[in-house]
Amino acid sequence: MRVRVDDGSCHGHQSCAIAAPEVFGADDYGNAVVLITGDIPDDLHAKVRRAEGNCPERAIVIED
Amino acid sequence: MTAIDPLRDYDIFDLGFVRDPFATMDEIRESGCPIAHSDRWGGSWFPTRYDDVVAMAQEHDLFTSREIIVVPPADPSNEGPYADVAAPPITSDPPEHHWHRRLILPFFSPQSVATFEQGTRDLCNRLIDGFIESGEADAAADYAQQIPVRVIATMLGVPTDMSDTFTGWVRGVLETGLTNPEVRLEARLNILRYFEAQLADRKANPREDDLITTLLHAEVDGERVPDSYVIGVCNLMLVAGVDTTWSAIGASLWHLAQHPEHCRQLVDDPDLWGSAIEELLRAYAPVTMARIVDRDIEFQGCPMHAGDRVLMSFPAANRDPRQFENPDEVILDRERNRHVAFGAGIHRCAGSNLARLELRVALQTWLSRIPEFRLADPDSVTWAGGQVRGPRQCKVTF
């Protein structure tokens, strides 16, 4: 699994970082950044899916 | 049963609606016309479905933020020198919105607001010290109401002993003043005069690590930002940062007082806090914003005209069963929760990270000291509503 944030859609709710703090963080303006480059470890997949399901802007893109 | 037809004549200031808006929202949402219209209070549209509210929030060029108060304001010519002071960036539209917002976002990033956590916890503990021995408290007036105003004052670098005065001004704008333009204007002018004096003081005596001083020195395209912008930001932080968060804290305590099983869950499982805070925000979203329709358009079959007012009812969106399973149930570990308590799109609440921190710390500190409590008298709880909904008197015993 890989994950990215659509910069045009993200408006900095930080819902992803609450659901999966190991995977998502914030830049200086509070917009989401992905902290893990490359494949997401298996044990974090459920959290990433939860992050995707909690983003009001639907800005999280999961690539399985 | 109410005699008011919610589809054609809803009244967001009706006491029954303020106390329980959800039945009316459900009735509108499940009717053939989920965007209601009422001529009351200057007239407005009232979307109740999640998808409609989010689409309108994201279409900021069509649903503008020229005015964001749910009732038309007083004649701006009464405001004298302050007529051009708004509350940026919440009242801004693109293109200015971009820099209006970008300058303040760094103050509210998760990293920045984390510096307020310990001070907020200490404040909450001091408040609880004041009433814990008595076995009773007003969770709204003695606790929730006292927290955000002091956090915001600290952030703005203004005296926290002005808190009661600030609270009075904010209520003048967002509560009593909503239906009374003269009260609203007076409160607004008090706020703007106060911050104009604060700016003058910072210009004479610059301070380090001070939000107002930092903004006064900010430049956009090589030019200092105007004072009206800085005063406007201070105005926004006070008006938007106090009533809202206090309402969320109060409503959450009102809920927990009636759900001891939720109190136990939160005490037993600290990992629950992240999703629990989001769920409480979803279920008790305090804020309804307004938008002004930019041009004549048919939206979801509704003939909207330029200048029409739209109520962005985030509370209604957050209870839409098309988006949320069992929307009226508080499920602390809800798996999918795309709630819009903080809005959506470019006007997403800039202070949301601070609001969440305050809500979490206020509830954690309360439960650590008062793990079991109940409403003293459910019928005596009073609510404010209209633009910001939350309990104003909420007596509990423990």
For B277, name the nearest residue in chain A, comparing CA atoms only: A18
Residue B272 at interface with chain A, using a CB cutoff of 8 Å: no
Residue B2 has pLDDT above 60, yes or no: no
Extract the tokens encoding B156: 């703005």
Residue B339 at interface with chain A, using a CB cutoff of 8 Å: yes
pLDDT in tens, B175-199: 888 888 889 999 999 999 999 999 9
Q: For residue B274, list chain A residues with Cβ-Cβ distance below 8 A.
A: 18-19
For B317, name the nearest residue in chain A, comparing CA atoms only: A56
pLDDT in tens, B277-335: 999 999 999 999 999 999 999 999 999 999 999 999 999 999 999 999 999 999 999 99
Nearest CB to B336: which of A26, A29, A54? Answer: A54
pLDDT for B70: 85
Q: Where are the domains of chain A?
A: 2-63
* pLDDT range class, residue B3, cuts 50, 70, 90: low
| Between A28 and B69, the higher pLDDT residue | A28
Mean pLDDT over the full length of chain B:
95
Q: For residue A27, list chain B residues with Cβ-Cβ distance below 8 A.
A: 109
Nearest Cα of chain A lies from the Cα of B89 at a distance, in angstroms, of 14
The whole-angstrom separation of Cα B323 and Cα B349 is 21
Residue B1 has pLDDT above 60, yes or no: no
The whole-angstrom separation of Cα B151 and Cα B241 is 9
pLDDT in tens, B130-160: 999 999 999 999 999 999 999 999 999 999 9
pLDDT in tens, B26-57: 999 999 999 999 999 999 999 999 999 999 99
Q: For residue B58, list chain A residues with Cβ-Cβ distance below 8 A.
A: 57
What is the CATH T-level fold of the domain A2-63, as seen in this structure? Alpha-Beta Plaits (3.30.70)
Query: pLDDT tens track of chain A, all 64 residues?
Result: 999 999 899 999 999 999 999 999 999 999 999 999 999 999 999 999 999 999 999 999 999 8
Task: List B residues 31-70 in contact with A (Cβ-Cβ < 8 A).
Answer: 54, 58
Whether residues B109 and A15 touch (CB distance < 8 A) is answered with no
* pLDDT range class, residue B79, cuts 50, 70, 90: confident
The whole-angstrom separation of Cα B343 and Cα B267 is 29
Residue B259 at interface with chain A, using a CB cutoff of 8 Å: no
Question: Which residue from B321, B314, B293 is spatially nearest to B305, judged by alpha carbons?
Answer: B293
Do the beta carbons of residue B381 and residue B393 sit within 8 Å?
yes
Extract the tokens encoding B4: 């008011």
Whole-prediction pTM: 0.96
Domains, chain B, in order of start with CATH, read 6-397 (1.10.630.10)
